[in-house]
Chain A
C-alpha cells in the first residue's frame, strides 16, 4: 500500500494569512486528491491534481483560494490562502494504488483564529 506523509501535521494560523500543506507519496502516482473535512463532518473533495497540468477543482472551490502544485509524480502542495476561521478543518491528500484502493495521508489539522 502507498505510504503518504503530510506536513505540517497541525497548525494554528491568523486570519488573512496563507498556509501551504505538503503531501509526499512513497511511489509514483498519476493522480493525487485533496479533501477537506470540517469539524464533525464528512470529507469533501477540493481538487484533483495531475502531474504536469492544472488541478481540476470541484464546485465551490477555486484556484485563487486553494492553489495546488504538482511538480512530480510523488509530491503535491495545497495552499489555503487568505484564511478565515471558516477554513478551520482537516486537510487530507489521497492517492490510488494499483489495487484500486484509495489511501489517505495523516491529515493536516488547521485552526484559524
Chain B
C-alpha cells in the first residue's frame, strides 16, 4: 500500500523567510504532484514532477524530486502573506489514482 507523509503538518513563518515542506512516500512512484488549497476552496495544481532530479519553479515556490530517496520538497523563498494555504503532495504509480499526503497548513505572519 502506497503511503505518503508530509512534514511539518503545521508551519507558521514570518514574511521574508525561507522554508521547506517535505513529502516522503513508501513505494516507487512515477509521478508526484503538489497542490495548494485555500480555505473553503478546491485544489489548485502547482507542479507535476515526473523524473528523478526534476526541479520546477513558479514564483517563490520551487519543487524537486528525488526518486531514489522517495522524497519531494517544496521550497518557499522569501515568503509573502499570499502564500498562506494548505499544501498537499500526492503520488501515483502505474495509473492515474492519486494518494495524498496529510497536508501542510502554512501560515505566513506579517
Contact = CB atoms under 8 A, between A and B. Distances in A.
Contacts of A1: 45
A42 interface: yes
Contacts of B42: 92, 104-107
Interface string B62-103: 000000000000000000000000001010000011111111
B54 interface: no
A29 to B, nearest CB: 10
A5 to B, nearest CB: 11
Q: Contact residue range for chain A?
A: 20 to 34
Contacts of B33: 101-102
Nearest to A10: B40
A100 B97 contact: no
A1 B40 CA distance: 22
B48 interface: yes
Nearest to A47: B97
Interface of A: 1, 31, 33, 41-45, 48, 92, 94, 96, 99-107, 109
Given A42-B100, A92-B43, A106-B42, 4 more contacts: A43-B90, A43-B100, A45-B97, A107-B41
